[in-house]
């Protein structure tokens, strides 16, 4: 047996020149941990599904729909996102949507994805939970078999709805408990603090589900704290506003809480005016376990590699940051330690390969 490839040394990372970064960012194996599958519906797919299912859309064309993607905040995006999801009716629709995404993930060297889905968006329109989850899961299983991409599902509760509705959704989901690995909390953040969902998250914890929540995207640092203390989540989705609270930053660093940061999303939803002013370098400098993700790639202008490429182009980040971000994504995933070690070794090989090519 050959010895595992060790991590690249600081000197090796420093030797990789800036012009090699785009190729490195593309080639490095990575996990995507913050991806709303309904947010991967491209306008072309929305129109094709609308036609297949006889659903009428309030937009005349693909171009007209795309032109509406000018958001001023989270809510202005969510209104269009929920309208787009209204074309999804059958198990095949959910499978096709997820498959489109998984093909793109493979092209981006995503080795593992933990995919959010919003069942309440669909059950409210009369689509059974079973149709949603079976369509998505069959695409995940197919990706493992045909693409070598590992994929798992995280069911999100919509925080603008009540906790009783979330509890009812959990009841509907329980017969399919084996088809998803965890639960999350998404949708309109302001005015809907994590503690609103204390009971449902406690039940999910008892069921052995993994727990995550959006917090500190538009909402205050206090929402990050209550997601940790009340919901007891294992990762924070976004979390970028944590920097407003030094004690919270120290805690996140000490406890190694992963943040699933989504740079292009943050700019599209006006959390930051542009990428050059994104706080990702400051989050890294504070020792936080930052990961890079695409959130809703069909709406925000790029899949995960485009997020990496754009943030590295806009900010002074080098190969060492690339290694940290990719490694964080693999380590923050909900897979076995053995699987993580295998992927980290693959990451080490890619970085050592780039370092060697740069030295010669």
Nearer residue to ligand ADE within complex by CB, 29 or 216: 216
CA distance 188 to 248: 23
Q: How far is the CB of 207 from Zn ion (least distance, A)?
A: 23
Q: How far is the CB of 123 from ligand ADE (least distance, A)?
A: 16
Nearer residue to ligand ADE within complex by CB, 225 or 296: 296
Nearer residue to ligand ADE within complex by CB, 214 or 289: 214
Nearest residue to Zn ion on Cβ basis: 295
Taking CB atoms within 8 Å and a gap of at least 24, the contacts of 241-245 are 241/216, 241/217, 242/216, 242/283, 242/288, 243/279, 243/282, 243/283, 243/286, 244/220, 245/221
Residue 39 binds which of ligand ADE, Zn ion, none (CB < 5-8 A, kind-dependent): ligand ADE
Q: Write the DSSP symbol of residue 117.
A: E
* Member of 42, 96, 295, 331 binding ligand ADE (CB under 6 A): 295
CA distance 235 to 170: 20
- Assess whether 217 carries a catalytic annotation: yes
Interaction between residue 295 and Zn ion (CB under 5 A): yes
Task: Report DSSP letters for 271-282, one per residue.
Answer: SSSSGGG-SHHH
Tokens of 261: 């940061």
* Residues 161-200, interacting with ligand ADE (CB under 6 A): 186-187
One of 91, 114, 189, 217 is an active-site residue; which one? 217
Q: How many CA atoms lie within 13 A of 174 on its CB side?
A: 11
Interaction between residue 32 and ligand ADE (CB under 6 A): no
Picking from 82, 86, 294, the residue whose alpha carbon sits closest to that of residue 187 is 82
Question: Where in the sequence numbering do the catalytic residues fall?
Answer: 217
Residue ranges binding ligand ADE (CB under 6 A): 36, 39, 74, 81, 186-187, 214, 217, 265, 295-296
Residue ranges binding Zn ion (CB under 5 A): 295
């Amino acid at each position: 047996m050959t010895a595992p490839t060790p991590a690249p040394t600081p000197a090796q990372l420093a030797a990789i020149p800036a012009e090699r970064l785009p190729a490195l960012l593309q080639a490095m194996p990575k996990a995507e941990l913050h991806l709303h599958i309904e947010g991967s519906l491209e306008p072309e797919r929305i129109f094709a599904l609308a036609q297949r299912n006889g659903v009428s859309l309030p937009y005349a064309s693909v171009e007209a729909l795309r032109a509406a993607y000018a958001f001023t905040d989270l809510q202005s995006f969510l209104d269009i996102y929920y309208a787009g999801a209204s074309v999804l009716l059958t198990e095949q629709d959910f499978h096709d949507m997820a498959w489109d995404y998984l093909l793109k993930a493979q092209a981006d060297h995503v080795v593992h994805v933990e995919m959010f889905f919003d069942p309440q968006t669909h059950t409210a329109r009369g689509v059974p939970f079973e149709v949603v989850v079976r369509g998505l899961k069959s695409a995940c299983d197919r990706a493992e078999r045909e693409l070598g991409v590992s994929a798992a599902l995280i069911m999100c509760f919509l925080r603008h709805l009540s906790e009783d509705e979330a509890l009812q959704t959990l009841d509907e989901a329980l017969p399919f408990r084996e088809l998803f690995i965890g639960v999350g909390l998404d949708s309109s953040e302001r005015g809907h603090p994590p503690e609103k969902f204390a009971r449902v998250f406690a039940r999910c914890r008892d069921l052995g589900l993994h727990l995550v929540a959006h917090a500190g995207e538009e909402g205050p640092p206090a929402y990050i704290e209550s997601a940790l203390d009340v919901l007891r989540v294992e990762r924070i989705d976004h979390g970028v506003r944590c920097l407003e609270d030094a004690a919270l930053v120290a805690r996140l660093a000490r406890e190694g809480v992963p943040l699933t940061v989504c740079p292009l999303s943050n700019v599209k939803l006006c959390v930051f005016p542009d990428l050059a002013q994104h706080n990702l370098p400051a989050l890294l400098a504070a020792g936080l376990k930052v990961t890079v993700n695409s959130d809703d790639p069909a709406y925000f202008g790029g899949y995960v590699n485009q997020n990496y490429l754009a943030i590295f182009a806009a900010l002074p980040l080098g190969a060492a940051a690339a290694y940290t971000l990719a490694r964080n994504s693999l380590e923050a995933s909900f897979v076995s330690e053995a699987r993580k070690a295998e992927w980290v070794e693959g990451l080490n090989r890619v970085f050592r390969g780039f370092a060697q090519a740069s030295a010669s």
